[in-house]
């Protein structure tokens, strides 16, 4: 009688296709290998080893058996696990510097061992549940595909866009009256997409002249110095001092 002592690996995706090494004894003569009730293709390496290709199956555990003219072996469990699937990522964009915390929603996420933004691994991630993962985006540029990988394989991709954090290099003038109303030219980089310009905590009206220049109208404020910042999709710029006199 054939006897199975071990399988390696002991699990794989429901799509099948995994090469499974079956170790045991009595693997001689006409042979059939089954995963549950499904016969599959295999290579008889020796009387003690078979390499079988796991067929497709449903999520759950089946018994792998080897049948020869002498009879059918004992069964050894093989577990089919779901291929992870992603349905959304939120937010779907973040800074090129990385560090954005995103929530990945989907199914079959239990046991996920890797989250990749393009070819770059996430800075860190936590599997919150079978339907949610929280990940920290690494640094990157452009539009990338985010995927997760688990025992069942690699998921479908969802799109994540890296956007530039605005940077201010200078403002002119650097001071103005407490009544506000004067035009302030802000020079820098990354002035694209939806933007907000603030003098301290006060948002103000402005015109985007180009990706490197904004003309803002200083709002009224009490005497003293505030930080001028520009906030875009990628985050908030450095602050540059503006003094109310």
Encode pLDDT of 13-72 as tens digits.
898 999 999 999 999 989 999 999 999 999 999 999 999 999 999 999 999 999 999 999
pLDDT range class, residue 89, cuts 50, 70, 90: very high
Which pLDDT score, from 0 to 100, does residue 172 have?
A: 97
pLDDT range class, residue 154, cuts 50, 70, 90: very high
DSSP structure class, residue 174: S
Give 142 or 122, the one with higher predicted confidence: 122
Average pLDDT over residues 104-128: 96
For the cut 90, the answer to whether the pLDDT of residue 234 exceeds it is no
Task: Record the tokens describing residue 146, joined without a space.
Answer: 């985010």
How far apart CA 193 and CA 214 sit, in angstroms, is 13
How far apart CA 131 and CA 85 sit, in angstroms, is 9
How far apart CA 157 and CA 117 sit, in angstroms, is 9
With tokens 């199914």, the residue in question is 107
For the cut 90, the answer to whether the pLDDT of residue 95 exceeds it is no
Alpha helices per DSSP H over the chain: none
Average pLDDT over residues 202-218: 97
Arithmetic mean of pLDDT over the chain: 95
For the cut 90, the answer to whether the pLDDT of residue 163 exceeds it is no
With tokens 């103005």, the residue in question is 176
For the cut 90, the answer to whether the pLDDT of residue 193 exceeds it is no
- Its pTM stands at 0.68
SS3 139: coil
How far apart CA 65 and CA 76 sit, in angstroms, is 7
pLDDT range class, residue 164, cuts 50, 70, 90: confident
Looking at the chain, the whole-number percentage of residues with pLDDT higher than 70 is 100
* E-strand stretches of 9-90: 11-13, 19-25, 32-35, 38-40, 42-46, 49-53, 60-68, 71-72, 76-81, 85-90
Residue 3 backbone dihedrals phi, psi, to 5 degrees: -135, 135
Average pLDDT over residues 72-77: 97
Which pLDDT score, from 0 to 100, does residue 206 have?
A: 97
For the cut 90, the answer to whether the pLDDT of residue 97 exceeds it is no
Which pLDDT score, from 0 to 100, does residue 233 have?
A: 78
């Amino acid at each position: 009688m054939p006897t199975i002592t071990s399988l390696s690996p002991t699990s794989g995706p429901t799509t099948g296709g995994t090469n499974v090494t079956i170790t045991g004894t009595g693997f001689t003569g006409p042979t059939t290998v089954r995963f549950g009730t499904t016969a599959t293709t295999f290579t008889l390496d020796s009387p003690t080893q078979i390499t079988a290709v796991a067929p497709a199956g449903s999520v759950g555990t089946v018994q792998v058996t080897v049948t020869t003219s002498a009879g059918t072996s004992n069964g050894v469990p093989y577990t089919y696990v779901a291929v992870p699937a992603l349905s959304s990522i939120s937010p779907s964009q973040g800074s090129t510097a990385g560090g954005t915390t995103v929530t990945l929603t989907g199914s079959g996420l239990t046991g996920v061992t890797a989250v990749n933004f393009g070819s770059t691994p996430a800075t860190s991630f936590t599997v919150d549940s079978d339907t949610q993962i929280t990940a920290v985006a690494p640094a990157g540029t452009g539009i990338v595909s985010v995927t997760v990988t688990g025992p069942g394989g690699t998921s479908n991709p969802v799109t994540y866009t890296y956007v530039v954090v605005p940077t201010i290099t200078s403002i002119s003038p650097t001071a103005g009256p407490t009544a506000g109303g004067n035009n302030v030219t802000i020079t820098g980089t990354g002035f694209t997409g939806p933007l907000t310009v603030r003098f301290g905590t006060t948002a103000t009206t402005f015109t985007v002249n180009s990706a490197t220049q904004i003309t803002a109208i200083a709002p009224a404020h009490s005497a003293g110095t505030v930080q001028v910042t520009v906030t875009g999709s990628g985050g908030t710029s450095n602050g540059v001092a503006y003094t109310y006199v």
